[in-house]
């Protein structure tokens, strides 16, 4: 017990400190509140709807900053939802491309054309566009756009092994010939991005989305903000604004949308729980150990007295 | 035989059998359904044969369940009889319904398929083994008569059909049930050994069908035109009824004496011929071959109820899921991204979705019901039984056998026995009967040399030479007789001389042992020197020696007292020698009867010649002058009676051979001419008889080499005893018995009838024609109660003798009581002289009885009753049945273990009680209540009186007593300060077992801690067991060795057979077979305890494991809208149970030893935990489940909070859950298991490694292989992530913390007996011995000083001391209030282990 206690407490403290050092800011832009700038986008008439949210970073974000979008109350882990995909198709199998798995029903075919990528997951892909601008200072109204890196947000193995575009020569459009886009999508899959190596099935936003979240409230990596050099913080303290192209409807399921900016440590994102838990458990173990020691001691003495009486 | 009487009777018989069968019109072949007609399977009768025998099976046997073709369907069919398998099949089917499909269709099948495959492979292997044995048996060769070749040709067993003639030679195994038609034995008998059937290795005689015995050399199958009609095949080994109908419509009855059963072996007979009546599966042996026994153990029943609880839990969980899903769905109005409509576009209503979800959840959570539990239990049991069987402690050199587990699935019941029912003879005792004392004509002969010899034998068993030295030494030197109150202590001078002589004779026998070593071990057990040598009582021997010459003077009619006594003595020994069914054989030619080969080779024709010769030379005088008896022949004895005697007196000791010819047909019954003995002269004088190739054999060495094989050992003991008095049984055939009577020379008794022993009559009789008096004499031997009732009130010889008889009777009765008090088995010997007319009268009736087919048994008993009455008591014998080695210790240990021991014996009360004292079943300080009442009411009164007294004795529990009246419950032993013992006799038992008194009886027995039932019949034994078992709801164990214990063994929860002297019937019926009673204590205390704890812990662990794991899935449902998603890859999910966590519990179940064997043996008290089912109470089950819930909660929520709100995806989330669960589950096992060996560690590490290996490989290989859930590279990602490790460690620690704390606290605060015993194991040997001493010593001290009791009760006050026990301590009588001391033992023991324990506890922490 003492060992457990003694080991756990420092670990907990370490974790806690690390976690506390992580800078994180979360901006809800669902727009259900009337005051929110994005409130206007709730009506389906406004298309495209762009809204802007201002926020201030109190402290500078050092190191690489990760930009997430977060969704709440979105049950990406619903059994039938999770199943509704065709890994073979996503892996570039040409036969599966034109004849997707039954699991994709009812998002398997649209107007007699196979849907690529098929299934409910793909169909419901997050399609807001987020842009981040730094208002350098009060005086200068021209905002500096923050460079958001699209690549490197998906697992390497996903991008290079699990997801593949259909084989063949020619442009992606040709390779995806004979398929149609998912119903909810605005653009076909081969137009997700301008870059060839981030388009089609290997579009990293798409890959990230396809990795279904475990819990109904989740975040997904959207962009990376790379550290420029050691001298300047990646995101200096100051005023920023977030430009949102609002496409994704969440109010039907009381969902919420967020944008999260966070730095990372060796243990990932900010989460005080682990540290606290470690500290607590360590302390409890220590306490129990002490209690046991006392009990044992007392016990031994009582038995010793009994001993002397008996013999 | 074939006397006139016989042929008369035959006619009678035919008539009666006609009568008996008349109603069923046995003559019509229609009856073939009920009766079977067998016709020779030969050309002339071909049509008829086909008509009758078409439906008869041939001799090919197939014991396999499956064939190659039907294996798969049949095996599946069998397996799906199991509810569990059906359940899983249902799940598989359910998963094929698309609406509720949770997994991929194929995956759900996997566990089922694996389980089915494992069991199918097991079954298949077993079956294949059987198939090979069958094939071997089917291809054995036997000789079958072939018409084509007109001789017997070799033929495979499988080709033998009903109606075939078979010729078998000595030592061949009988291939089918055969009616014996011919035997090379001139008397038409054939010896068989039935060890293959019932394990009895003694020889049994079978007889050629009447009418065939006198036939030509061999039965010619060509001429055999009779047909046999007999019963349809049945499984009664001891019954065969039918008749053989000759072509002339004459009928001959068939009985079991004529039937050779399949599987037996022909012995001592050169060749036999018979006709097959039953073949193959219709043989009695095959019909008697029951399948493997299947008993369900108590633990398994418990587990089954808990499985039901699990199902309930499952249903609740599924219902929750379904309801919640419905509610969850109904919250949303519109179509959602994640709520996918049906393929056809419409949306299911929430209610319907909820309904579907219910089934989906069932599939998802199916793992809750442990499918692998049953497989694992079976594997574990196999392992346990393997360990039991390979325990060297059970090895018995004498029997060359170890423990034998016949029932594979009740090993753990051994750990829960509460009531033990034991047979006495052969179970507690060795069943090696040693002739100890006898009482003849009212005089007791105590045979104390015998007693001394026995003692000395025990001291020097090892060396034969030493043995004889010691023997002679002890005979001369041992002054004090073992039997303290032996009335007739011989004077020193008188005693020493004969004993010198005697030691010499025993020397000779000792050297004869070399020969007996030829025998295999079983037989050696039969004829070990301790049984075979009886040192005659000198006084009796003197009498015997002195009297014999006077024999004939006494016969003169001048009846004097000593002469009468002589008569008695003579008759007594004759009765000892012949009133039995002992088979004589010579040890140096094993399995060869002493019947000389020259004789058996003699054609029967020569017998006729001898007869003629005899008739011619009937008055020819003996020419041997050397014989004293010959000289002392009184000349001119007046009566014909004596003249006949004189005829006999001419028989010489020197001629070892003699032939007896059956009474001549022509002679009238009273005529002296019919005396049918003839004497064969000394070789030199009877050269004319060379025909019969009689060789002179050395008489006396032969006699000492004789060896007897008896059905029961006491018979043999009596014969050996008779031999010691030179009344040697020389040979026995169905028609005659030859006895070497010391002074009279060989006497040949014509054996008229044997009424075999049965447990109803409790006696057996032989009817012989006395060679000297030519009277028909009935010798009866039986239990004293049975005989005493039948003694004649009026003796035919007048008042004087009657008085004599009365005196003898009284004296004998006194002796009998005395014997019984010494724990000797008593038998009474009586005789009755019948007139020939009486006999003929009786015989007629008897044949009537014998030949009736239907209620033959009752009629036979009735007939026996008619014969066995008005007996004259000759004397009584006392045979010692020595206690087996280690019996008292075992009994004591078992008592301490809290097992109530009942002794059920057929012996009389005194014997039983004495044996009970001897084996510590009863302690001197026990209060003994004897229930012996003659009527129902008396019994009731008696019982209530005893009951009241008992209740008075323990005032602590009057409330409980009244409570107990409603439902008889065994009061805890604490209640009774003094141990009470109950002795009940058979008759009273009968009353007690009646419906009305049952409850009272049970209540009474519940109070008493030992019950001895004497004079119990086998049926009563089983009734008692049944009663106790069903009414008290306790675990019962019955142990016995003989056929009379079979019913009891079968009724009890566990039947244990002692493979002893009385054959294998008990073993055949038992679940476990041990060779000695003392092994029982280890079997129960150690293996029973282990098996029980292991298995119960394993079952609990299985439940825990499944609940813990499944709940992870369940908790996840709260976060996925109860949609039935699993956060784990399906393969991992399935394999988790099937592979990663299955081996460790199995290893645990097989190898776990919570306390070492030594400690368990030394502290039998530990056994009580099993009796109370401590390891597996309902409470434990629920605590385990709660713990499982807690652990699963931790396992889920620690990762949940860790990853909450992060970008974790489903399977990445599931991975740490899984890993943590694996660690938790395995470490839980480590906490629970008490001793860890390297095997444990190996398996644990193996499991973990295999898990990681699987996850890594699966993650690496499987890119698109498993479409919906694709764990690609997840494990690899996690292995690089420190958070993963942190989470796993944290989860494991938190999850196990309470359990561990609980265990530690339990270890130091409230240690159970077992825990404390476990600590003893950790001590060094010296410390341990010390602690053990203290443990035991504490109990004793407490008894002595009540002061200390009070003190320490105060000291140990923090421990709850139950009221009754405190009371018991205060009253502190000197009795063994063993329960009362328990808390004190604890105190005393604390010091024994607390120090090491404390350090043990602290070490890991500091």
Give the contacts of B1037 (CB within 8 A, at least 6 positions apart).
B414, B417, B419, B420, B421, B1052, B1053, B1054, B1055, B1056, B1084
Shortest Cα–Cα distance, B317 to chain A (Å): 17
CA nearest to B1253, candidates B1210, B1296, B1214, B1222: B1222
Nearest by Cα to A219 from A28, A65, A72, A30 = A72
CB B395 within 8 A of CB B280: no
Residues 6+ apart with CB under 8 A from A78: B338, B339, B340, B1120, B1121, B1123, B1125
Tell me the mean pLDDT in the region B462-475.
37
Helix B1382-1402 vs helix B1363-1371: angle between axes, to the nearest 10 degrees? 120
Q: What is the mean pLDDT of residues B1181-1209?
A: 87
Q: Establish whether the linkage from the previous residue to B14 is cis, with ω within 30° of 0.
A: no
Closest CA to B914 of B878, B870, B957, B938: B878
Percent of chain A with pLDDT over 90: 0
For the ranges B1004-1018, B1142-1156, B1192-1206, the lowest mean pLDDT is seen at B1004-1018
For residues A90 and B354, is the Cβ–Cβ distance under 8 A? no
Chain A / chain B CB contacts < 8 angstroms = 241
Q: How confident is the model at residue B1324 (pLDDT cuts 50, 70, 90)?
A: low
Give the model's confidence band at B33: pLDDT under 50 very low, under 70 low, under 90 confident, else very high: very low
The answer to whether the annotation marks B781 as part of a ligand binding site is: yes
- Mean pLDDT for B262-289 is 73
Q: For residue B1088, which of B1168, B1178, B1176 has the smallest C-alpha distance?
A: B1168
Pick the more confident residue, B543 or B1250. B1250
B740 has binding-site annotation = no
The per-residue DSSP string of A181-244 comes to --TT-SS-GGGS-SSGGGSGGG-HHHHHHHS-BSSSSEEEEEEEE----SSS-SB-SEEEEEEE
Highest mean pLDDT among A174-178, B682-686, B1127-1131: A174-178
Where would I find the H helices in B23-104? Answer: 46-53, 71-79, 83-95
Mean pLDDT score, B248-264: 75
List pLDDT tens digits, range A297-308.
776 654 443 333
Predicted pLDDT of residue B534: 58
Q: Look at B1015 and A126; give whichever has higher pLDDT.
A: A126
What confidence score (pLDDT) does residue B192 get? 77
The pLDDT of residue B521 is: 33
Where is A67: in which H helix or E strand? Answer: strand A65-72
Would you tell me how many other CB atoms lie within 10 Å of the CB of residue B595?
Answer: 21
pLDDT of residue B666: 37
Check the annotation: does B757 bind a ligand.
Answer: yes
Supply the pLDDT for residue B758.
67
Does the bond joining B119 to the residue before it have cis omega, within 30 degrees of 0?
A: no
Q: How many helices (H) and strands (E) does chain B have?
A: 52, 35
Exposed/middle/buried for residue B993 (C-beta within 10 Å: 0-12, 13-18, 19+) = middle
The pLDDT value given to residue B346:
67
* Interchain pair A124, B337: CB under 8 A: yes
- Contact at CB, B1206 and A77, closer than 8 angstroms: no
Shortest distance between the Cα of A132 and any Cα of chain B, in A, equals: 20
Test A77 with B1404 for CB contact under 8 angstroms. Answer: no
d(CA B465, CA B455): 16
C-alpha span between B499 and B468 (Å, rounded): 12
Taking only the tens place, the pLDDT of each residue in B1345-1379 is 333 333 333 333 333 333 333 333 333 333 333 33
Residue B279 to residue B163: CA distance in whole angstroms:
9
Q: Which two tokens stand for residue A248?
A: 């994704």
pLDDT reading at B368 higher than 60? yes
Per DSSP (E only), the strands in B663-704 are: 677-679
* Catalytic residue positions of B, numbered: 423
Is A274 in Cβ contact with B1290 (below 8 Å)?
Answer: yes
Closest CA to B1283 of A182, A51, A278, A109: A278
The whole-number pLDDT of residue B1393 equals 36
pLDDT digits (tens, 9 = 90+) for B148-203: 677 777 777 777 777 777 887 777 777 778 887 777 776 677 777 665 555 455 56
Q: Choose among B1208, B1214, B1388: nearest Cβ to A310.
A: B1388
Nearest CA in chain A to B1126: A79
Which among A106, A278, A306 has CB closest to B1352? A306
**Which residues are CB-contacts of B111 (< 8 A; sequence separation ≥ 6)?**
B88, B371, B372, B1134, B1137, B1138
Which are the contacts of B631, defined by CB distance < 8 A and separation ≥ 6?
A: B625
Distance (Å) from the alpha carbon of B1142 to chain A's nearest alpha carbon:
28
- The pair of structure tokens assigned to B2 is 């074939």
- What is the token pair recorded at B49? 């044969």
- Is there a binding annotation on residue B423? yes
Q: A82–B1200: do the CB atoms touch at under 8 Å?
A: no
**Dist. CA B269–CA B634, nearest whole Å:** 42
A247-251, B7-11, B867-871: least confident range: B7-11
pLDDT, one tens digit per residue, over B70-125 is 777 777 777 777 677 777 788 778 877 777 666 666 677 777 788 788 878 877 88
Residue B1387 has a pLDDT of 34
Q: Is B425 annotated as a binding residue?
A: yes
* CA separation for the pair B1296, B1400 (Å, rounded): 19
Q: Which two tokens stand for residue B224?
A: 């055999």
Which of A101, A106, A214 lies at the smallest CB-CB distance from B1208? A214
pLDDT tens, A100-128? 888 787 788 888 888 888 888 888 888 88
Q: Name the packing angle between helices B298-330 and B1089-1117 (round to 10°).
A: 0
pLDDT tens-digit series, residues B481-502: 333 333 333 333 333 333 333 3
A252 to B332: CB separation less than 8 angstroms, yes or no: yes
| Closest residue to A274, CB basis, from B1286, B1358, B1391 | B1286
Give the minimum alpha-carbon distance from A142 to chain B in angstroms, rounded to a whole number. 33
Is the CB of B1290 less than 8 angstroms away from the CB of A310? no
CB contact under 8 A, B1297 and A292: no
Backbone angles phi, psi at B1336, to 5 degrees: -75, -40
The ipTM estimated for the assembled molecules is: 0.90
Interchain CB distance below 8 Å, A80 and B340: yes
Integer distance in angstroms from the first to the last C-alpha of chain B?
Answer: 95
**pLDDT mean across residues, chain B:** 66
Helix (H) or strand (E) holding A46: none
Cα–Cα distance for residue pair B145/B41, rounded to 1 Å: 10
Domain ranges of chain A: 1-22+271-310, 25-264
> Predicted confidence band at B47 (pLDDT cuts at 50, 70, 90)?
low
DSSP B770: -
- Is residue B792 over pLDDT 70? no
For residue B110, count CB atoms less than 10 angstroms from its CB and return exposed for 0-12, middle for 13-18, buried for 19 or more. middle
Is pLDDT above 50 for B539?
yes
What integer is the mean pLDDT of A276-305?
75
Q: C-alpha B705: how far from its chain's center?
A: 32
* Residues near B390 by beta carbon (within 8 Å), at least 6 away in sequence: B402
- Going B259 to B265 to B267 to B269, the CA torsion angle's sign is positive
Burial tier of B799 (Cβ tally within 10 Å: 0-12, 13-18, 19+): exposed
Residue B1334 with chain A: CB contacts under 8 Å: 311
**Residue B830, helix vs strand vs coil:** strand
Looking at per-residue confidence, does B641 or A235 come out higher?
A235
The reply to whether B449 sits in an annotated binding site is no
Flag the least confident range among B240-244, B710-714, B1196-1200: B710-714
Do the bridges between strand B707-709 and strand B443-445 make them parallel or antiparallel, or are there none, so unpaired? unpaired
Chain A CA closest to residue B1303: A292
Cβ distance of B1120 and A267 shorter than 8 Å: no
CA Rg, chain B, in Å? 38
In the structure, what pLDDT confidence band is assigned to residue B703 with cuts at 50, 70 and 90?
very low
Flag if A310 and B1119 touch (Cβ within 8 Å). Answer: no
Nearest CA in chain B to A109: B343
Q: How far is A269 from chain B (nearest CA, A)?
A: 7
Query: Is the peptide bond preceding residue B972 cis, with omega within 30 degrees of 0?
Result: no
According to the model, what pLDDT value does residue B1310 have? 63
**Measured between CA atoms, how close is B366 to chain A, in angstroms?**
17
Q: How crowded is the C-beta side of B1159, counted as CA atoms within 13 Å?
A: 26
Torsion from C-alpha of A118, A123, A126, A128, nearest 10 degrees: 120
Interatomic CA distance for residues B423 and B420, integer angstroms? 10
Collapse the DSSP code of B797 into the 3-class scheme (helix H, G, I; strand E, B; otherwise coil) and give the result. coil
Q: Which one has a higher pLDDT value, B299 or A56?
A: A56
Residues on chain B touching A208 (C-beta within 8 angstroms): 1207
Residue among B328, B340, B1194 with most chain A CBs within 10 A, to mutate: B340
Determine the average pLDDT of the residues in B988-1005.
Answer: 76
CB atoms within 10 A of CB B425: 27
Give the CA radius of gyration of chain A. Answer: 26
**In Å, how far from its chain's centre is CA B1333?**
37
Distances (CA, A) of B963 to B967, B979, B1028, B1031: 7, 21, 18, 15
pLDDT digits (tens, 9 = 90+) for A232-249: 777 888 888 888 888 888
**Which of B154-168, B914-928, B1237-1251 has the highest mean predicted lDDT (pLDDT)?**
B1237-1251
Kindly list the residues from chain B whose CB atom is less than 8 angstroms away from the CB atom of residue A106. Answer: 340-345
Give chain A positions within 8 Å (CB) of B1401.
Answer: 292, 296
Chain B neighbors of A79, CB-CB under 8 A: 102, 360, 1120, 1123-1125
Residue B1021 known to bind ligand: yes
């Amino acid at each position: 017990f003492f060992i457990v206690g003694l080991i756990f407490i420092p670990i907990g403290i370490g974790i806690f400190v690390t976690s506390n050092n992580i800078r994180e800011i979360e901006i809800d832009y669902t727009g259900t509140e009337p005051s929110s700038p994005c409130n206007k986008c709730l009506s389906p008439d406004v298309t495209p709807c762009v809204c802007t949210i201002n926020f201030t970073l109190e402290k500078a974000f050092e190191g690489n900053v990760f930009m997430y979008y977060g969704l709440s109350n979105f049950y990406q882990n619903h059994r039938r939802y999770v199943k509704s995909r065709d890994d073979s198709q996503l892996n570039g199998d040409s036969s599966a491309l034109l004849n997707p798995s039954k699991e994709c029903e009812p998002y398997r075919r649209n107007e007699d054309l196979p849907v690529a990528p098929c299934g409910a997951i793909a169909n419901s892909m997050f399609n807001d566009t987020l842009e981040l601008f730094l208002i350098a200072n009060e005086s200068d109204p021209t905002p500096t756009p923050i460079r958001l890196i699209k690549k490197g947000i998906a697992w390497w193995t996903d991008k290079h092994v699990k997801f593949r575009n259909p084989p063949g020569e020619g442009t992606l459009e040709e390779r995806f010939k004979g398929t149609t886009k998912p119903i909810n999508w605005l653009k076909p899959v081969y137009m997700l991005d301008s870059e060839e190596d981030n388009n089609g099935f290997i579009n990293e936003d798409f890959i990230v989305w396809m990795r279904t979240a475990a819990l109904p409230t989740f975040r997904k990596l959207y962009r990376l903000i790379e550290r420029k050099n050691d001298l300047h913080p990646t995101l200096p303290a100051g005023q920023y604004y977030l430009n949102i192209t609002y496409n994704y409807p969440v109010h039907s399921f009381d969902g919420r949308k967020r944008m999260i900016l966070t730095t990372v440590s060796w243990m990932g994102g900010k989460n005080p729980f682990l540290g606290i838990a470690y500290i607590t458990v360590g302390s409890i173990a220590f306490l129990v150990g002490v209690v046991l020691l006392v009990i044992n001691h007392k016990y031994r003495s009582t038995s010793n007295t009994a001993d002397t009486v008996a013999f | 035989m074939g006397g006139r009487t016989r042929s008369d009777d035959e006619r009678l018989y035919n008539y009666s059998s006609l009568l008996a069968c008349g109603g069923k019109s046995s003559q019509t072949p229609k009856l073939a359904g009920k009766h079977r007609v067998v016709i020779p399977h030969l050309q002339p009768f071909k049509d008829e044969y086909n008509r009758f025998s078409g439906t008869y099976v041939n001799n090919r046997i197939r014991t396999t369940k499956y064939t190659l073709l039907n294996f798969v369907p049949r095996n599946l069919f069998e397996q799906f009889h199991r509810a569990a398998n059906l359940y899983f099949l249902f799940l598989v089917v359910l998963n094929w319904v698309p609406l509720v499909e949770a997994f991929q269709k194929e995956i759900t099948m996997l566990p089922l398929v694996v389980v089915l495959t494992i069991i199918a492979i097991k079954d298949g292997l077993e079956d294949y083994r059987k198939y090979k044995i069958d094939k071997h048996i089917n291809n054995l060769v036997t000789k079958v008569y072939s018409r084509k070749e007109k001789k017997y040709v070799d033929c495979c067993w499988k080709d033998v059909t009903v109606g075939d003639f078979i010729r078998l030679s000595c030592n061949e195994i009988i291939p089918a049930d055969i009616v014996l038609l011919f035997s090379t034995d001139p008397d038409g008998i054939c010896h068989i050994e039935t060890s293959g059937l019932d394990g009895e290795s003694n020889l049994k005689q079978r007889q050629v069908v009447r009418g065939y015995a006198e036939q030509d050399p061999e039965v010619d199958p060509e001429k055999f035109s009779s047909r046999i009609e007999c019963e349809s095949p049945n499984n009664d080994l001891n019954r065969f009824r039918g008749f053989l109908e000759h072509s002339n419509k004459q009928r001959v009855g068939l009985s079991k004496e004529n039937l050779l059963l399949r599987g037996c072996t022909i012995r001592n007979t050169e060749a036999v011929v018979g006709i097959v009546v039953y073949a193959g599966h219709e043989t009695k042996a095959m019909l008697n071959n029951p399948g493997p026994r299947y008993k369900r153990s108590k633990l398994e029943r418990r587990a089954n109820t808990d499985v039901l609880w699990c199902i309930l839990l499952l249903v609740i969980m599924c219902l929750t899921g379904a309801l919640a899903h419905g509610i969850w769905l109904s919250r949303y109005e519109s179509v959602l991204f994640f709520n996918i409509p049906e393929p056809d576009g419409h949306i299911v209503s929430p209610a319907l979705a909820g309904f579907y979800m219910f089934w989906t959840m069932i599939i998802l959570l199916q793992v809750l019901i442990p499918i692998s539990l049953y497989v694992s239990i079976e594997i574990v049991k196999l392992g346990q039984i393997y360990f039991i069987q390979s325990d060297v402690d059970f090895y018995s050199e004498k029997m060359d056998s170890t423990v034998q587990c016949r029932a594979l699935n009740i090993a753990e019941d051994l750990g829960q026995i509460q009531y033990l029912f034991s047979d006495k003879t052969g179970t507690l005792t060795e069943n090696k009967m040693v002739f100890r004392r006898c009482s003849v004509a009212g005089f007791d002969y105590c045979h104390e040399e015998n007693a001394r010899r026995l003692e000395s034998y025990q001291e020097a068993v090892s060396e034969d030479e030493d043995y004889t030295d010691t023997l002679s030494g002890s005979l001369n030197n041992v002054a004090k007789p073992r039997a303290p109150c032996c009335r007739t202590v011989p004077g020193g001078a008188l005693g020493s001389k004969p004993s010198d002589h005697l030691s010499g004779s025993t020397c000779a026998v000792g050297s004869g042992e070399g020969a007996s070593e030829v025998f295999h071990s079983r037989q050696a057990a039969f004829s070990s020197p301790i049984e075979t040598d009886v040192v005659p009582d000198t006084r009796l021997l003197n009498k015997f020696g002195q009297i014999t010459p006077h024999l004939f003077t006494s016969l003169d009619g001048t009846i004097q007292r000593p002469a009468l006594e002589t008569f008695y003595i003579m008759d007594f020994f004759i009765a000892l020698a012949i009133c039995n069914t002992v088979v004589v054989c010579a040890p140096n030619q094993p399995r060869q009867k002493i019947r000389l080969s020259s004789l058996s080779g003699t054609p029967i024709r020569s017998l006729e010649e001898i007869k003629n010769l005899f008739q011619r030379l009937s008055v020819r005088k003996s020419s041997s002058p050397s014989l004293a008896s010959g000289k002392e022949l009184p000349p001119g004895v007046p009566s014909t009676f004596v003249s006949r005697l004189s005829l006999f007196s001419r028989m010489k000791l020197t001629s070892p051979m003699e032939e007896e010819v059956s009474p001549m047909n022509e002679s009238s019954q009273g005529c002296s001419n019919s005396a049918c003995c003839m004497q064969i002269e000394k070789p030199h004088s009877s050269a004319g008889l060379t025909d019969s190739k009689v060789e002179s054999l050395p008489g006396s060495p032969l006699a000492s080499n004789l060896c007897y094989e008896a059905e029961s050992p006491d018979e043999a003991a009596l014969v050996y005893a008779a031999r010691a008095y030179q009344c040697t049984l020389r040979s026995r055939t169905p028609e005659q018995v030859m006895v070497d009577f010391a002074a009279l020379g060989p006497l040949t008794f014509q054996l008229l009838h044997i009424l075999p022993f049965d447990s109803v009559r409790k006696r057996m009789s032989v009817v012989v024609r006395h060679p000297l008096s030519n009277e028909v004499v009935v010798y009866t031997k039986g239990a004293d109660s049975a005989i005493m009732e039948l003694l004649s009130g009026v003796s035919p010889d007048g008042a004087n003798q009657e008085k004599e008889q009365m005196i003898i009777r009284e004296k004998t009765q006194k002796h009998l009581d005395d014997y019984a008090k010494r724990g000797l088995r008593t038998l009474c010997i009586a005789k009755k002289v019948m007139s020939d007319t009486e006999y003929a009268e009786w015989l007629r009736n008897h044949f009537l009885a014998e030949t009736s087919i239907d209620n033959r048994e009752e009629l036979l008993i009735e007939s026996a009753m008619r014969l066995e009455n008005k007996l004259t008591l000759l004397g009584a014998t006392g045979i010692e049945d020595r206690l087996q080695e280690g019996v008292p210790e075992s009994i004591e240990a078992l008592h301490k273990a809290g097992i109530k021991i009942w002794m059920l014996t057929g012996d009389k009360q005194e014997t039983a009680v004495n044996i009970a004292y001897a084996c510590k079943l009863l302690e001197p300080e026990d209060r003994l209540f004897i229930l012996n009442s003659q009527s129902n009411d008396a019994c009731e009164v008696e019982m209530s009186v005893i009951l009241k007294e008992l209740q008075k004795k323990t005032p602590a529990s009057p409330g409980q007593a009244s409570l107990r009246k409603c439902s008889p419950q065994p009061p805890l032993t604490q209640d009774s300060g003094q141990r009470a013992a109950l002795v009940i006799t058979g008759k009273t038992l009968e009353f007690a077992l009646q419906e009305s008194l049952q409850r009272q009886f049970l209540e009474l027995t519940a109070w008493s801690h030992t019950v001895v039932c004497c004079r119990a019949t086998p049926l009563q034994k089983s009734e008692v067991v049944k009663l106790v078992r069903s009414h008290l709801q306790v675990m019962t164990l019955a142990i016995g060795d003989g056929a009379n214990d079979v019913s009891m063994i079968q009724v009890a929860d566990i039947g244990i057979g002692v493979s002893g002297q009385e054959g294998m019937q008990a073993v055949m019926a038992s679940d476990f077979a041990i060779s000695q009673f003392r092994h029982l204590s280890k079997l129960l205390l150690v293996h029973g305890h282990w098996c029980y704890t292991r298995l119960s812990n394993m079952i609990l662990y299985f439940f825990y494991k499944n609940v813990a794991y499944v709940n992870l899935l369940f908790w996840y449902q709260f976060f996925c809208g109860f949609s039935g998603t699993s956060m784990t890859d399906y393969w991992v999910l399935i394999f988790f149970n099937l592979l990663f966590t299955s081996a460790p519990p199995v290893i645990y179940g097989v190898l776990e030893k919570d306390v070492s064997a030594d400690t368990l043996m030394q502290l039998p008290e530990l056994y009580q935990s099993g009796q109370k089912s401590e390891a597996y109470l309902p409470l434990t089950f629920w605590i385990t489940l709660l713990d499982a819930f807690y652990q699963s909660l931790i396992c889920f929520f620690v990762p949940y909070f860790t990853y909450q709100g992060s970008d974790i995806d489903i399977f990445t989330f599931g991975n740490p859950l899984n890993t943590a669960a694996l660690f938790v589950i395995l470490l839980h096992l480590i906490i629970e298991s008490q001793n860890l060996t390297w095997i444990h560690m190996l398996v644990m590490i193996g499991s973990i490694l295999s898990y990681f290996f699987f996850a890594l490989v699966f993650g690496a290989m499987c890119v698109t292989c498993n479409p919906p859930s694709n764990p690609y590279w997840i494990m690899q990602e996690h292995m690089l992530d420190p958070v993963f490790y942190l989470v796993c460690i944290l989860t494991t620690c938190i999850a196990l913390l309470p359990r561990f704390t609980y265990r530690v606290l339990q270890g130091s605060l409230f240690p159970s007996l077992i825990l404390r015993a476990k600590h003893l194991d950790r001590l060094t040997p010296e410390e341990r011995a010390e602690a053990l001493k203290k443990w035991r010593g504490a109990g004793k001290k407490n008894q002595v000083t009540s002061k200390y009791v009070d003190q320490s009760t105060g000291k140990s006050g923090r421990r709850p001391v139950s009221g009754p026990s405190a009371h018991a301590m205060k009253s502190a009588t000197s009795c063994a209030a063993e329960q009362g001391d328990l808390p004190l033992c604890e105190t005393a023991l604390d010091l024994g282990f607390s120090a090491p324990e404390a350090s043990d506890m602290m070490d890991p922490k500091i």
